[in-house]
């Protein structure tokens, strides 16, 4: 039972992290706005 619950939790977390609607939209704008600022921010 414990193992089954963990598997479901992992699947839910992966889906939430792999498919973030608000983050994806922001990334698109960030690439256009902070094109040069991407280098210093990542470093």
Radius of gyration of the chain (CA): 16
Residue 3's SS3 state is: helix
What are 27's two structure tokens? Answer: 């990334």
Residues 10-43: pLDDT tens digits? 666 555 555 556 555 555 555 555 555 555 555 4
Does the pLDDT value for residue 5 go beyond 60? Answer: yes
Domain ranges across the chain:
2-42
Does the pLDDT value for residue 7 go beyond 60? Answer: yes
Distance CA 36, CA 26 (A): 16
């Amino acid at each position: 039972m414990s193992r089954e619950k963990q598997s479901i939790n992992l699947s839910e977390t992966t889906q939430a992290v792999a498919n973030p609607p608000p983050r994806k939209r922001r990334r698109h704008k960030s690439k256009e706005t902070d094109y040069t600022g991407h280098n210093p921010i990542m470093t």
